[in-house]
Amino acid sequence: MLKHVLKCAFAIVAGLALLAASLGHYRPQVPYKNQVAVLMYHHIHDTDTSSATISTRLFQDQLTYLKAQGYHFITLDDLKGFLNGGAVPPGAVLVTFDDGYKSVKTNALPILEKMNIPAVIFYITQKQEHPEKGIPPFQSNEDIRGMLQETSLVDIGSHTHNLHNKTGPGKGEGLLVARLKNNGKTETEEEYEKRITTDLSTSLERLQALTSKKVDTLAYPYGIFDRKSIDLAKEAGIHYAFTITQRMTLSSTDPMQIPRINAGSPNITPELLDKTIRRETIALPGVINWLHDHLKL
């Protein structure tokens, strides 16, 4: 009887040890394949507050949690390759920042470097002329150039030169799509087209002077764009453009309408961000992946 009890106890202990070992090597199953969650941030700061500002602690906690859930962080080049027929790892995530605040370099970059996570920063290049006058302050050309020399984790893109503003009744029309009025006269289509292409070309030229990598990306100010502005952006040299539409990016996504998931608000906990990404995951590609894996299609 004693031998039987000892055998049972040994089996239980061995089973618990095996379970513990298995849990130690467990990695959560990422919720998707062949998709990318592009995250959008703005300002990373521990004392400033706004709906687009999060603390360094929350920023790090979000990234740490996503890594623990099995997500894989990718580069801008990885995303471009994906949109051109290439592959990305399961649970692919791309980190992006709008506006080009100095806080991204001082507060976010050390965390990204420590965790070896790539990112893209979209700059309003006109702000670089007097960066310290911004509220919050922006990065200067020297800041950007130095950052790019110090790390290979960061890519840069345009947030326009001087179109990050609104006009019209209620100030709700973005300058990228608006036809401006001067002394009661609305600009012609030719004047509008010239204004937009000149602005975007200026932004790309100023950014290109700071890096050896090709600059051909844009984040639409306020996410406001239309078909005409897309065509003008292409004419200026933009090949990839990011929106604020909250959705996942697929290989079939229009490269000029890349969606993003907002991660940069103070109420977005790591768990909520994970749930949001999972909620936005497109179901159909998941079904296709399952069929491919299980039926060897």
Per the domain annotation, does 280 fall within a domain?
yes
State phi, psi for 284 to the nearest 5 degrees. Answer: -60, -50
Q: What pLDDT is recorded for position 289?
A: 53
The enclosing domain of 65 has a CATH number of 3.20.20.370
Per the domain annotation, does 146 fall within a domain?
yes
Per the domain annotation, does 1 fall within a domain?
no
With CA atoms as reference, report the closest residue to 99 among 158, 45, 149, 59: 158
Q: Are 234 and 198 in contact (CB under 8 A)?
A: no
Q: Are 99 and 52 in contact (CB under 8 A)?
A: no
Q: What pLDDT is recorded for position 268?
A: 98
C-alpha to C-alpha distance for 91 and 66, rounded to whole angstroms: 9
Q: Are 174 and 163 in contact (CB under 8 A)?
A: yes
Per the domain annotation, does 143 fall within a domain?
yes
Q: What pLDDT is recorded for position 252?
A: 96
C-alpha to C-alpha distance for 102 and 39, rounded to whole angstroms: 19
* pTM over 0.95, yes/no: no
Here the tokens at position 38 are: 């592009």
Q: What pLDDT is recorded for position 295?
A: 54
* pLDDT, averaged across the chain: 89
Q: What pLDDT is recorded for position 2?
A: 45
Q: Can you give the residue range of the structural domain that contains 96?
A: 28-165+179-295
Per the domain annotation, does 17 fall within a domain?
no
Place of tokens 């911004």: 134
State phi, psi for 76 to the nearest 5 degrees. Answer: -60, -40
Q: What pLDDT is recorded for position 287?
A: 55
Q: Are 176 and 221 in contact (CB under 8 A)?
A: yes
Per the domain annotation, does 20 fall within a domain?
no
Q: Which tens digit of pLDDT belongs to each residue from 267-281? A: 999 999 999 999 999
Q: Are 93 and 66 in contact (CB under 8 A)?
A: yes
User: pLDDT under 70 in the chain at which residues?
Assistant: 1-28, 282-297
Total domains in the chain come to 1
